[in-house]
Amino acid sequence: MIENTVHATQAVVSLDVPIQGLVWGSIITVNMWAKSIGTGVVFLAAFLWFRHKKDDMPNLKWAMPLIAFVSLNVFLFFTLIDLHQPYRMIHIFTHPHWTSSITVGAWMASLFLGLITILMLIGIGEKFPGVPFKGCLLTKFGRNNASLYEKIFPFLVFLAIPVTTYTAIIMAQSSARELWQAPTEVMQMMWAALMAGSAALVFISGSWSREARRDLTLILAISTFFSFAMYMSEYFFSFKSAEAEAVLEYVHVGGPYNIEFWAGLTLGFIIPFFIAVGNMKSDNKTLLKFAALLALVGLFLVKDVWLKIPQLLPLS
């Protein structure tokens, strides 16, 4: 019993200031979630166009950049509103600090959005000549430069890789939060992009050939499985770091984020995986859309938990 009376095992904080609350909250979760969709659809489009004829996915050429454009604008909007001094965002471009992955990411994401915008103008300009109105100069520009689509797209796919993963590097640079380890976060971001991208494209895949939709379903199944496996690996095997282990107590039984975490994993990973695997043969479009919706909701919940829990730990 002597061990219970010594200083080393009995230390209690008796006076301190309140711990800072959540610094990065759900706004940042939306940011990451929307970016996953925006870059994920580009990866998926590259894969599908590599595997299938363009006629198998007739709406992909204009719908993919449209989805990416909307998602990336949501991502950038939420980045902006999270800043405590939003008008000073321009400082990232006028006073860039290149050791910061926030800076590098902001530049790359801006370039990525610019290129996606061109693809969207080409895609929509070709498909809907009268949209948004007859004689619109932007869509006319798209129609007149349709050959750019094929030239820009390969570059866009390569650019999508760092745009997807730079948030993981920001998290790695957040050296106060040991749960966010660079190698795992980079892979988590990649799987999240494939998962969100495939889930988003499911909603426009109704007119696609069965084979193309089966490939899309396969990617959804694979990405939910490996993403789930990575979360489970971190959940069970992060005990080598005392800090990460302490953080994970927030999602253990009785922890404040236990329900959100497991609800997210069940809704977003386990159920969609089984639906997607089952759907490989049956090709039930309604069920597949349900799985895609669940995957997007679950991914948001799990990302939200993973973002918040390391911030609850006292650092000093």
Partner 1 sequence: MKLGFLVDLNLCMGCKGCEIACKVENEVPLSTWRLRVKYIDLGTFPDTRRSFTPLRCNHCESAPCERICPVSALHYLENGIVNIDSERCIGCAGCMMACPYGAIYMDPETNTADKCTYCAHRIESGMMPACVVACPVEANIFGDLDDDHSNISLYIMEHKGAVQVRKPEKHTVPTHFYVGGGNQTLNPLAHKRLEGYNLFNDVTHLEHVGDKNHGILDRFLAPFVGHEELDNKSFVESATSKETHSQEGGH
Minimum CB–partner distance for residue 164 and partner 1 (Å): 19
Comparing CB distances to partner 1, the nearer of 8 and 137 is 8
Minimum CB–partner distance for residue 85 and partner 1 (Å): 4
- Name the residues that contact partner 1, by CB under 8 A: 4-8, 10-24, 81-89, 91-92, 95-97, 99-103, 106, 170, 173-177, 242-243, 246, 249-250, 254-257, 311-316
Q: Which of the 8 DSSP states describes residue 131?
A: S
Query: What is the Cα–Cα distance from 304 to 296, expressed in whole angstroms?
Result: 12
Minimum CB–partner distance for residue 125 and partner 1 (Å): 33
Angle made by CA atoms 105, 308, 78, in degrees to the nearest 5: 45
Minimum CB–partner distance for residue 155 and partner 1 (Å): 25
- Rounded to 5 degrees, φ, ψ at 24 are -105, 110
Minimum CB–partner distance for residue 44 and partner 1 (Å): 30
Query: What is the Cα–Cα distance from 179 to 153, expressed in whole angstroms?
Result: 35
Comparing CB distances to partner 1, the nearer of 174 and 209 is 174
Comparing CB distances to partner 1, the nearer of 11 and 137 is 11
Report the b/e string of 283-303 with b at 16+ CB within 10 A: eeeeebbbbbbbbbbbbbbbb
- Select from 160, 159, 153 the least CA-distant residue to 35: 160
Comparing CB distances to partner 1, the nearer of 213 and 308 is 308
Comparing CB distances to partner 1, the nearer of 138 and 259 is 259
State how far the alpha carbon of 234 is from the alpha carbons of 1, 129, 251, in Å.
35, 50, 12
